[in-house]
Structure 1
Amino acid sequence: MSQWFDQVTAWLGANPEWLGLAIFLIACIECLAIAGIVVPGVALLFAVGVMAGSGALELWETLLLAYTGGLLGDMISYGLGRRFHQNIRNLPLLRDHPEWISGAENYFQRYGVASLLVGRYIGPLRPMLPMVAGMLDMPFPRFVAVSMLAAAGWAVAYLVPGWATGAALRLPLPEGFWGEAGVVIVAVVAMLGLIVHSTLHEKRLANPLAAGLCLAALGTLLIGWPHLQALDQGLMALVQEQRHASLDRLMVLVTRLGDFTTQLLAGALLGGLLLLLRQWRPACFAIGTLVATALSNTGLKQFFARARPEVLTEPLTTFSFPSGHSSAAFAFFLVLGILAGRGQPGRLRLTWLLLACLPALVIALSRVYLGVHWPTDILAGALLAGGIAAAGLALMQRAAPLTAMAPRIWLLVLPACLALLGGASVWALPEALARYSY
């Protein structure tokens, strides 16, 4: 398999004109029933992402190709399940490995629509769940709607790291960039690895450990950010190279989701609904996390008084470190992810957290794209929110664990919060467009 992998990547390196088609096909195969389990699609996607970022394709082209390829794989898998139903178990590979389909079937029957969102990030389940959805006669319009949403987050999570790596290798970056980047990457990966390990093994101190690691990493960053100038400047140059007038409007719309007023309204709505529905402990956790994050971020920002990047024609007057947009967005979505994972095994809790971090990460990165925050600003904001959320969860669960909220509660809380975020973002778009011009 490794020899075949090397041959494919070597051929694509010699024939970059086929790279776009390769990304589309690899994404399709990675999401295709049975084939997605056999083919090392994740490694291939990272490799072709690096090639695309080296100058062959722009980021939006790379993501669009992966997105449409993944959707096609989902549609084919769904069609196979809908066409053959239970007879699909008689296919050669599935007959030899019945656990592939039985595991996906049990997961789908247990979590329904949510399984298609969460299972997208669980390797063995990703290619099998669409086929199971068809096999169990999930309505096609509902499947398409969920699949379109899931494929968008999946394309970003699986292609952006490779593309960014390729772009970084191509650009003339400041001296010391790679050394600083290596230190930050190793520290973040080690921290996340310890958190994942403790969660998967259901360690009693998993939440205090996560809180301690996030806050320790934040403390290190607060002390060491003056020594990461090459990293900040290099990443800023990488992101600013991707600026296009067509993307500015979208990024301003995204960044509005993290504005103070928007987050204040969303947090108040979330806390108010939980209190109204008599979800006392979830409400205390949500309100406490959001308020503590906001107050801590404000205090740190005033203490460090770090200047913003000189990208905007009229720079904002407030300080940039840590990023308030980043901390607010991560706090809000982490609260939702933590509450959604209550009562579920470690793997599913981690997957809900991953899903929750994706919109927060997009909001945080929009600040770097618009040139109003340094990359270490948004990293500090994410660590602050993560540390406070984990600490708040540990405190809430000292006497008894937080129990899962009923689906009827989520059907009220989640659409209301998302509608408010979207409405508030669109409402102030004209003013924001003028504010973030450059």
Structure 2
Amino acid sequence: MNLVDALNAWAPSPTTLLLVVAAISLLESLALVGILLPGVVVLTAAASLAGHQEVAMFPLLAAAFSGAVIGDGLSFWLGYSQREHVRSVWPLSRYPQWLEQGQKFFERYGTLSIFIGRFVGPVRPIIPLVGGMMHMSPRLFIMANLASAVLWAPAYILPGYLLGHAWQYMPIMSHELRSWLISLSILIVMLAIVFSWLRLQLQRGGRVYWLFTNLARRNRLMRGLWLRLITPQRSEPPLASWLLLLTSLTAFSGLSIAVIHVHGPFRLDIQLRDLVMEFVQPGQLNLASTLDRVGDMYGIIAIIIPWAAWMLWRKRVDLFAHWSAALIGIALLNTLGKISIGRGRPWAPEHLSESFSYPSAHASTTILLLGLMAAFIATQLPMARRFWVYWAAIVAGMMMALSRVLLGVHWLSDIVGGALLGLVISALTQLSWQRVARPGLDDMPWKRLLLASALMVTLRLQVLGTI
């Protein structure tokens, strides 16, 4: 039995699916629980399965609506009745800044915060709780709760539902390719859940952080490593950077060994190429070509120019040196890796005819640059909002990197290897930066720098006639 048949056999009944969607909507809106649950990803997956099973749309929307209303209602009741004890409940006892952020949001928008807050990721599960703690009028809360849920349910359910429903109308796709896409979707959901959990546990007060501190207290060697490598002159330990380095370096090493051993593309690479050849459209190729230009050498230079100019203008030579060393290092490692492994491309235009495929320099450089930008921007944001900066970088990096697969000049494993190499260098750069105490970056106008980078890239694309 292949994966598609197995999922069809194990899929819950329509009634069970409605209950699952209602439960996810409730938990995603429930205070404390909703902070830890990547509800958007899980809800999209459940809605896609409902669309695939052809569950009626109206009952599905009603289930999501009911769960969201009940979840916000329970959060409001919890804050209203347990106002004095809420701060002592985990995870708010370990992360009081979440409650403070919710209170500022409520004070700014008042009654409208219940309506607006449902669509604002970092504060969504907190606002109804804060409203209860502030003894907001229950009548006004109910009105805002119902009105926001009416809009929230279709916004979060319909994209996944339509995707799953459209799956039924792709009969030419082989079972093998369907299995590949389903496996990739499951992997993305699992990674989102793990990422959300680790994001909390690696912060001060998290369980993983607590485990490391306990080990450091009991073991002299661990204590020395902790004091020298983990928390030198810093209020926040760079555990996330160390974990990123270890995981990405291990994965990159294992994948590179496998690439050398196979002497050609993996079966998964060939399956994805066949999938692209079946369904690629001219418009998709045009978009891929544009993204490819954004991530090539001249596109990267256009992105970097505003940032480098600001660093030099502000005399932040330390920051300029770290970014320069990272970009030069990734270029050298890409060249060395391509020559050493010598893997051929699936197809090579004239300007790439003498270039090898693994690892993808396009992917590695893009991921490195976006990773550095996200990491330094995140230092200026509250802890609860940093999650969105990293996810924006991940989505942008995936789109730019996968454009090379769509154009047919790279295998999927080339992209994965390049992305992992970019993460390795990004983690090393962060650890080097965090090694000593440095002046803060509070004066970095990152919004203006992002806008300037976008304008530089747009100007280049216009000169090339791409847009």
TM-score by length of 2: 0.59
SS, match of residue 173 in structure 1: helix
Amino acid at match of 1:216: T
2:79 aligned partner: 97
Larger Rg: 2
Cα deviation, 1:248-280, whole Å, max 9, x if unaligned, reads: 222211221111111123224422322112333
1:314, 1:28 → 2: CA distance?
Answer: 52
Aligned-pair distance for 1:298?
A: 2.1
Q: Of the candidates 251, 259, 267, which is equivalent to residue 217 of structure 1?
A: 251
Distance 1:103 1:301 in 2: 48
The aligned counterpart of 1:19 is none
2:320: which partner in 1? 283
Q: Give 2:451's aligned residue.
A: 415
Change (3 A) 1:174 1:159: closer
Q: Deviations over 1:378-426 (max 9, x none)?
A: 111111111111111111111115633326x224322111211232234
Alignment map for 1:354-365 (pairs within 5 Å): 354-365=391-402
Cα distance in 1 for partners of 2:34, 2:193 equals 27
Map 1:31-430 → 2, pairs under 5 A:
42-50=41-49, 94=76, 96-97=78-79, 103-106=101-104, 122=122, 124-125=124-125, 171-173=174-176, 196=199, 197-199=201-203, 201=209, 203-225=237-259, 227=262, 229-310=266-347, 316-317=352-353, 318-342=355-379, 344=381, 347-400=384-437, 403-406=440-443, 409-430=445-466
RMSD of equivalent CA atoms: 5.4
Q: Judging changes above 3 Å, is the alpha-carbon distance between structure 1 residues 372 and 55 closer, same or farther for their aligned structure 2 residues?
A: farther
In structure 2, how many angstroms separate the alpha carbons of the residues matched to 1:101 and 1:198? 19
Partner of 2:7: none
Alpha-carbon separation, structure 2, partners of 1:262 and 1:239: 25
Deviations 1:104-159 (A, max 9, x none): 3436889xxxxx99x9554845998xx9xxx9xxxxxxxxxxxxxxx9xx98xx96
Matched residue of 1:332: which SS? helix
Distance, in Å, in 2 between the alignment partners of 1:93 and 1:121 is 16
Amino acid at match of 1:250: L
Q: Distance in 2 between matches of 1:120 and 1:224?
A: 42
One-letter amino acid of the structure 1 residue matched with residue 44 of structure 2? L
CA contact (8 A) 1:175 1:230 kept: no
Q: CA deviation at 1:37?
A: 6.1
Secondary structure of 1:308's aligned partner: coil
How many angstroms apart in 2 are the aligned matches of 1:30 and 1:238?
Answer: 36
Letter of the 1:206 partner, please give it: A
Q: How does 1:2-21 map to 2 (within 5 A)?
A: 7=14
Q: Contact between 2:364 and 2:419, CA under 8 Å: does it hold in 1?
A: yes
Q: 1:184 to 1:103 in 2, by over 3 A?
A: closer
Tell whether the 8 Å contact from 1:9 to 1:47 is kept in structure 2 after alignment.
Answer: no
Alignment length (residue pairs)? 353
CA distance in 2, matches of 1:51, 1:277: 54
Q: Counterparts of 1:392 and 1:277 in 2: how far apart (Å)?
A: 20
Which residue type is aligned with residue 423 of structure 1? L
Contact 2:305 2:453 in 1 (8 A): no
Contact 1:253 1:426 in 2 (8 A): no
Contact 1:329 1:364 in 2 (8 A): yes
* Distance apart, 1:293 and its partner CA: 1.7
CA shift in 2, pair 1:262/1:108, >3 Å: farther
Alpha-carbon offset, residue 97 of structure 1: 3.4
Q: More displaced, 269-278 or 94-103?
A: 94-103
Distance, in Å, in 1 between the alignment partners of 2:126 and 2:277 is 34
Residue type of the alignment partner of 1:106: K
In the aligned structure 2, how far is the partner of 1:323 from the partner of 1:341?
A: 27
How far the C-alpha of 1:364 sits from its partner, in A, is: 0.7
Q: Contact 1:306–1:321 (CA<8 Å) still a contact in 2?
A: yes
Contact kept, 8 Å, 2:371 with 2:426, in 1: the verdict is yes
Cα shift at 1:297: 1.5
Q: Residue 320 of structure 1: CA displacement?
A: 1.6
Structure 2, unmatched stretches of 5+, are 1-11, 81-85, 87-97, 109-115, 137-151, 210-235
In 2, the alpha carbon distance for the partners of 1:29 and 1:45 equals: 14
Partners of 1:94 and 1:193 lie apart in 2 by: 24
2: CA distance, partners of 1:291 / 1:92: 53
Say if 1:26 and 1:41, in contact at 8 Å, map to a contact too.
no
For residues 304 and 438 of structure 2, the distance between their equivalents in structure 1, rounded to whole angstroms, comes to 23
Whole-Å Cα distance in 1 between the matches of residues 351 and 292 of structure 2?
Answer: 16
TM-score of the two chains, using structure 1 as the length reference? 0.62
Does the CA-based 8 Å contact 1:176-1:230 persist in structure 2? no
Q: Secondary structure at the match of 1:371?
A: coil
Distance 1:320 1:396, change over 3 A: same
